[in-house]
Structure 1
Amino acid sequence: MMVKKKALLAAGAVLAAATLVLTGCSGGGAASTASATAAAGSGSLTVWVDADRAPVLKDAAAAFTQETGVEVKLVQKDFTKIQDEFIAQVPTDKGPDITIAAHDWLGNFVANGVVQPVELGDTAANYQKVAVTAMSVEGKTYGVPYSIENIALLRNTALAPTAPATYDDMVAAGKAAGTEFPYLVQLGPDADPYHLYPFQTSFGAPVFGTNADGSYNANDLSIGNAGGEGFATWLGAQGAAGNLSLNVTSDIAKEKFLAGASPFLITGPWNVPDAQKAGITVAVDPIPSAGGQTAQPFVGVQGFVVSAKSKNALAANEFLVNYIGSEKVQTALYKVGGRAPANTAAFEAASSDPITAGFGKVAATAVPMPSIPQMGKVWQFWGVTEAAIISQQGDPVGLWQKMTADIQTAIK
C-alpha cells in the first residue's frame, strides 16, 4: 500500500513514528521499514534503463517523486552494454543507484560486489516463484523481477490440430503432415544448448544440481550423470535420423516454419508476431518430453537491482518494491515489451492473451538459467560437443563425458 508521506513530514513526524505508522498500514515487514526511511523526502535516485522501458519508468518515477519527494533521474542505456558498464562504474561511485538487468548477470554482479540484496518483505508472494528464484544468489534476493521469458512449442494448428504428448508423437505428427521437416529447432554449426535444453532435462540431466532453497549448487555438476549419457545417446540417434540438423540455423528455422514446412517450431514469443503476420494460426504448447521426465526449458528473467554503492539504498528499495513491482507498472511494462509479467496479478490479467498464457504455462515448470559464475565455463564446451554428437563425430557417451571432465577442470 502506498502511503502519503508528505503529510507525515509536514507534521514533523520523527522517523520512528513514521516507521510505526507505515508498518501498521502496509504490513510489509522490511519493505515497510524502507518506505518509512524513504519518506525523508531528500536525495535522488539515478536509474539506468533501456529505451523500450524508459517511458513506463518515467510515469512510475513521477509518481514516486510526488509521494516521497525523492527525485528519480532516468538514464537511457544500451541494454547490451549495461552489465560491463555497471561493473566498471559502481566501484568508482559513478554508477547508478538502480539498473535494469538480466537475471543471469547476477552471478557476475555478486562476484564483483556491485549489488546489494533487495528486501521484498511480504511482497515476495506477489511474484511467480521462478522469477524470485532467478533473481536470487545463495539464498539472497538481489533484484525485483518484472518479466519472464522462455521457449515453448509453437504449433501451426492447420497442420497439427492437437498438441503432441511426447517427442515421438511430435515427430509422428510432423511426418503425417507431409511437410519437409517433422519439427524445427534452431541449431547451427555449434548446435544450440539453450534450445535443446528442454530435451536434456527430460532425461533428468540438469547442468547443476540445486540446493534446498532452489539455488544452483556449483559443486554438483549434474550434466554428466546417467541422464546426461542417455541424452547424448538420444542426440546421436536424432542426428543420424535427420531429425536434428546443424544446417538449420535460427533464420532458416523461422523461415521454414513461416513457409509451412513444418507444423512445429521450438522458439520463444519473439517469433510469434511474424507467424501471425504470415497468416498462421498458432498455439503455444509445452515442449514434449523425449526422455520421460518433464521437458524444462530455461527461463530468462529481467528485473532491477540496487547498486552496492547507492547512497539512498532504502529509497531505491522502496521504488523497486512498491512501484516497479506493482501490478500497474508491470502491466505497463508487459504492454511495451511483450514479455510475461513476473507479478502474478499482472500475469493473470495478461493471460487473457492465449499466447502469453501458453508461454506462461511452460514457464511455471521451467528453470532459471544458472546465474552462478561457473556457468560461464559450461557454454564453451556444451554446444560444440552437442554438434559433434549430432554430426556423428564419435561415441556420444564418450564425447559427453569428455565434455563433463573439461567443464569440471575449467571450473576448478
Structure 2
Amino acid sequence: MRRSIILAGATVTALALTACGSGSSDSAESAAPEATESAATAEGTLTMWVDDTRIGEMQPVVDAFTEKTGVEVDLVQKASGDIGPDFVAQVPTGEGPDIITSAHDGLGEWVNNGVVAPIELGDKADGFAPAAMAAMAYDGQTYGVPLSIENIALVRNNDLLDETSATTFDELVEQAKGAGTEFSVLIQQGEESDPYHLYPLQTSFGAPVFAQADDGSYTSDIEMGGDAGHAFSEYLAKLGDEDVLDISIDGEKAKQAFLDGDAPYILTGPWNTTAFTEAGMDISVLPIPSAGGEPSQPFVGVQGVFISAKSENPVLANEFVANYLTTEEAQDVLYTEGGRTPALTASAAKVDDPILTGFNDAGMEGAPMPAIPEMSSVWGFWGTTEAQVVDGQADADTAWDQMVDNIQGAIDAG
C-alpha cells in the first residue's frame, strides 16, 4: 500500500462511481504531468489494462503519477482484441481491472453490461476535440477520457500534383485526371465496398448513419435514408460509371497503386502514410472536399481510458483518469511517446509533424464511430448495397431504400 494522496475534488465523483457499480527518443525530455490537489484523501493501487502498442507510451505517464502521488498504477499488457471482451467477462466477477485503455467503439456493450462507470469532467470536457468527447458519450452520459484520435484524410503525391485548389470532390477528380495517371482519386473498395472510406462523401450529402443527440452520443434512429440517402447513392453510381470507384480495387491494391505513382490522391489513414514516407514519397495530408455541399465528416476513432464500475478504488481511479489524464502535460507525454494525435486540443496544437497535423485538421469536423450495439446490424447491408450500386448491379435509389429497410428490420429483431 502506497502513501495517501490529496485528491482534487474527487469525493463527490467517487460516490457517484460507487453508486453506479457498488515511441520516441525524446522520452527523457518529456514533461511530467502534475497531479491536482483538494481536501479528500485515499490510498491504494490501481490496475490498468493496456494493449501492446500503447503500454510503452503509458509507462512514463503512470511513472510520473506514482512519483508525484505515491500511488502505483500496475500496467497489464493484453492483446487489443481481448481487452473489451475480457472486461465484460471479468468485471462482474470482481477480477477485472480498475481502468482500461481501449478504442471507444465497445462503449455501448460495456454500458449495457454494466461494467463501465460514468465520470464527470465538467469544464475539462471543453478542452477536447468535439468528436473525441462525443465518442466518450453514451445515452446522455460521459464514460471516459479521450487520449488520441485517428481518421482518414486526402493524401496527395506532391511529385504528381503540387497544389490542390478543388473545393468540391468533383473538382478534385477533374484536377486529378490532369496528372495523366491510371487512377484519379483512389478510394479502397473490395467486393463488399468500404463504407468506412466512403463515409466522408456520404455525410457531405447530409446522410449520417445514425442521428446524434445534443451531447454527440448516437441514437438508434437511422438517418441515412430519404432524399439525402438517394442523393448519395446516385453519386456512388456516378463515381462507379466514371471509374473513380471500382470494387476490384481493395485496400492493398489502392495502397500499392499510390506507392507506384498511379494516382495523385488517395483517401486513407495514418496507418498507411508511414509506408509512403519510407518509400521516399513527398506527400501532403488534406481535408476531404465535400461532394454533396455539406461538410465531409470522416469517422473518427478515439482511444480512451475507462473506469470499471466495480473498481475497488473509484476515488483513485477518478483522480488518475478524470483529473490527471485530462491535463495538457499528460497528453503531451502520450504524444511524445506514441506519436498519435492528442485528443486534447491544446496538446494537438503543439504537434509540428505536418502529416499528423493534416490528419488532425481533416478530422476536426469528423464524426465518432458509433459505439451503439445497433451498429453491428449496419455494416453488412451497407457494404453490400454500396458495392451493388458502384458496380451497376442495382438501381441506386431502390437498393438504398431496401438497405435501410433491412437495417431497420435487423435492429428491430434485436
Q: TM-score, normalised by structure 1?
A: 0.89
State the one-letter code of the partner of 1:354. P
Separation in 2, partners of 1:212, 1:122: 17
Secondary structure of the residue that 1:39 maps to in structure 2?
A: strand
Provide closer, same or farther for how the CA distance between residues 200 and 341 of structure 1 changes in structure 2, counting only shifts above 3 A: same
State the one-letter code of the partner of 1:168. D
Q: Deviations over 1:54-95 (max 9, x none)?
A: 233222223323333332111001112111111111111111
Alignment of 1:3-402 (within 5 A): 22=8, 36=38, 39-41=41-43, 43-163=44-164, 164-218=166-220, 220-350=221-351, 352-402=352-402
Separation in 1, partners of 2:303, 2:329: 17
State the one-letter code of the partner of 1:55. G
Are the counterparts in 2 of residues 297 and 366 from structure 1 also a CA contact under 8 Å? yes
State the one-letter code of the partner of 1:93. G
Separation in 1, partners of 2:349, 2:55: 24
Separation in 2, partners of 1:30, 1:86: 22
Provide closer, same or farther for how the CA distance between residues 142 and 38 of structure 1 changes in structure 2, counting only shifts above 3 A: farther
Q: Deviations over 1:113-132 (max 9, x none)?
A: 11001222332222222211
Are the counterparts in 2 of residues 117 and 140 from structure 1 also a CA contact under 8 Å? yes
Separation in 1, partners of 2:248, 2:192: 10
Q: Deviations over 1:142-165 (max 9, x none)?
A: 011100100000011221222222
Q: Deviations over 1:287-340 (max 9, x none)?
A: 111112111111110011001111111210111123323223322322343321
State the one-letter code of the partner of 1:357. T
Are the counterparts in 1 of residues 135 and 216 from structure 2 also a CA contact under 8 Å? no
Are the counterparts in 2 of residues 46 and 73 from structure 1 also a CA contact under 8 Å? yes
Secondary structure of the residue that 1:46 maps to in structure 2?
A: strand
Are the counterparts in 2 of residues 130 and 368 from structure 1 also a CA contact under 8 Å? yes
State the one-letter code of the partner of 1:165. T
Provide closer, same or farther for how the CA distance between residues 37 and 145 of structure 1 changes in structure 2, counting only shifts above 3 A: farther
CA RMSD of superposed structures (Å): 2.3
Q: Which residue of 1 aligns with 2:408?
A: 408
Secondary structure of the residue that 2:378 maps to in structure 1?
A: helix
Separation in 1, partners of 2:296, 2:122: 32
Secondary structure of the residue that 1:340 maps to in structure 2?
A: coil
Separation in 2, partners of 1:370, 1:256: 31
Secondary structure of the residue that 1:223 maps to in structure 2?
A: coil
Consecutive unaligned residues of structure 2, counting only runs of 5 or more, are: 17-35
Are the counterparts in 2 of residues 60 and 323 from structure 1 also a CA contact under 8 Å? no
Q: How many Å apart are 1:241 and its aligned residue?
A: 1.9
Consecutive unaligned residues of structure 1, counting only runs of 5 or more, are: 10-17
Separation in 2, partners of 1:80, 1:35: 36
Are the counterparts in 2 of residues 118 and 143 from structure 1 also a CA contact under 8 Å? yes
Q: How many Å apart are 1:38 and its aligned residue?
A: 6.8
Q: Which residue of 1 aligns with 2:20?
A: none
Q: How many Å apart are 1:30 and its aligned residue?
A: 5.3
State the one-letter code of the partner of 2:403. M
Separation in 1, partners of 2:152, 2:362: 8
Are the counterparts in 1 of residues 137 and 216 from structure 2 also a CA contact under 8 Å? no
Are the counterparts in 2 of residues 53 and 333 from structure 1 also a CA contact under 8 Å? no
Q: Deviations over 1:4-34 (max 9, x none)?
A: x96x87xxxxxxxx67xx55xx9x9959x99
Separation in 1, partners of 2:339, 2:228: 35
Separation in 1, partners of 2:42, 2:217: 36
Are the counterparts in 2 of residues 39 and 68 from structure 1 also a CA contact under 8 Å? no
Q: How many Å apart are 1:37 and its aligned residue?
A: 7.5
Secondary structure of the residue that 2:145 maps to in structure 1?
A: strand
Are the counterparts in 1 of residues 149 and 343 from structure 2 also a CA contact under 8 Å? yes
Q: How many Å apart are 1:168 and its aligned residue?
A: 1.3
Secondary structure of the residue that 1:147 maps to in structure 2?
A: strand
Separation in 2, partners of 1:57, 1:408: 41
Separation in 2, partners of 1:173, 1:239: 18
Separation in 2, partners of 1:67, 1:181: 55
Aligned identity (percent) is 47
Secondary structure of the residue that 2:393 maps to in structure 1?
A: coil
Separation in 2, partners of 1:357, 1:38: 40
